[in-house]
Amino acid sequence: MPEYALFQNSILVKLILILHVCVKLFILRGILIFVDQIFLIEAIGAAALGAIVGSFVNALSFRWGTGVGMRGRSRCMHCGHKLSALDLVPVASYLFIRGRCRYCSARISLQYPLVELVGAALSLGTFLVQPSPLPYTVAFLLWMTLLFLVTYDLRHLSLPIPALWTVGVLGLLSTTLSCSSGSICAVAVPPLVSLVAGPIIALPLLLFSALSGERWMGWGDGFLALGLGWFVGLTGGVTALCFAFWGGAFVGLSLVALSRRRVTMTSEIPFAPFLMFGAAIVYFFHIDLFSILLV
Ligand SMILES: [Zn+2]
C-alpha cells in the first residue's frame, strides 16, 4: 500500500475533511443570515418609511385646499393644543393614547392609524415587488400619491389636480424603466404597447364623464386611470378596471341595501379608491385576467 493512501485513511485527515466541510457550511450559513438580515432591515425600513409618509398624507388630506397651509406644528383638531413628537409617532401614538387626545380626551379619527398602516403596507409590498432602488422609488412615490388621492377623495369627493399630474408623470416614467435580472435596471425607450396603455385605459372613463356630464364619473377618475394604465400596463390596466368596477358595484349596491335612506342609486360614490384597489391587485398579486383566460 502506498504511503499517501495510508495518509488518506488516517483519522486525522478524516477529521480535517469534516472540519473543512463544517467551516464551509458555517461560512455559507453566515452569509445567508447576513443577507437575510440586510433584507429584513430594508423591509422594516420600507414599512417605516411608508408609515411616516402615511402620516404626512393624513396631514395633507386635512390641510390641502383648506387655506391652513402645510407650515406650522400639528394641533389637536378639537382643543387646538400643539402636538409633541410623542403624539406624532405613526400608529404607535394612536395605540398608546388609545385613540383619544392626551390634552382634551376628544376621540381622534381612525383615519390617522389606518392611512399610516396602509402606507406601511404599500411601501413594504412595493419593496417586495421591486427591491431595486430606482423602480422602488418611482413605484413608492406613485403609491403614496395614490394614497393621498384616495384619502382626499373619500374625505372631500374631489381629486387634487397636481396629485393627478404626479401619478401621470410617475406612471409614464415607470414605462421607461427596464429591469432585467436582479437589481440591474436601465432607462430605455418604452415599447408602443406601454405608451398606448395609459390612454386606452383612460378612454372608457373619460367617455363616461363626457356622456353623463360628470354625473356617473368625474374627469379626475379618467386622468387617474391614464397614469395607472401606464404604471400597470395594458392587460394589467384592463384587469385593474374590471376589479375597480366589480368592487365599485359590490360596495355601491351593499351601501344602497344597508342604508336605504342616506345612500341611493344616484349618490356620488368616490371611484378613485376602487381604481387603487384594482391597480393594487394587479401590481402586488400579479393577477392578470388575460393570462388567466388564455391559459
Ligand atoms: Zn385635544
Q: Domain spans of the chain?
A: 131-295
C-alpha cell at 118: 396602509
pLDDT computed for residue 182 by the predictor: 58
* Calculated CA dihedral for residues 281, 160, 61, 283, nearest 10 degrees: 10
Distance of CA 87 from the midpoint of ligand 1 (Å): 11
The residue type found at 12 is L
Q: Which residues, chain by chain, have CB under 5 Å from ion ligand 1?
A: 76, 78-79, 101, 103-104, 106
- Rounded distance from Cα 149 to ligand 1 centre (Å): 27
3-state DSSP assignment of residue 10 = coil
Ranges of residues in the chain with a pLDDT under 50 are 1-7
Q: How far is it, in rounded angstroms, from Cα 248 to Cα 243?
A: 8
85 C-alpha to center of ligand 1: Å?
A: 15
How many other C-beta atoms are found inside a 10 Å radius of the C-beta of residue 257?
A: 9
C-alpha 49 to ligand 1 mean position (Å): 27
Distance 147 CA to ligand 1 centre (A): 26
Closest Cα to residue 143, out of 49, 257, 59?
A: 49
* Residue 33: per-residue pLDDT: 64
Q: How far is the CA of 66 from the centre of ligand 1 (A)?
A: 20
Cell of 37: 438580515
pLDDT of residue 231: 96
Question: What Å distances lie between residue 8 and 1, 13, 20, 173, 287, CA to CA?
Answer: 11, 6, 15, 63, 58
| Three-class SS state of 132 | coil
The pLDDT tens digits for 138-197 are: 999 999 999 999 999 998 888 999 999 999 999 999 999 877 665 677 788 888 999 999
What is the whole-number distance in angstroms between the Cα of residue 78 and the centre of ligand 1?
5
Distance 81 CA to ligand 1 centre (A): 6
Within 8 A by CB and 6+ apart from 260, the residues are none
DSSP one-letter string for 80-116: -PBPPGGGGSTTHHHHHTTTB-TTT-PBPPTHHHHHH
Q: Residues 234, 203: contact at Cβ < 8 Å? A: no
Q: Give the Å distance between the CA of 73 and the centre of ligand 1.
A: 14
Spatial contact of 246 and 271, defined as CB atoms under 8 Å apart: no
Using DSSP's 3-state secondary structure scheme, residue 179 falls into: strand
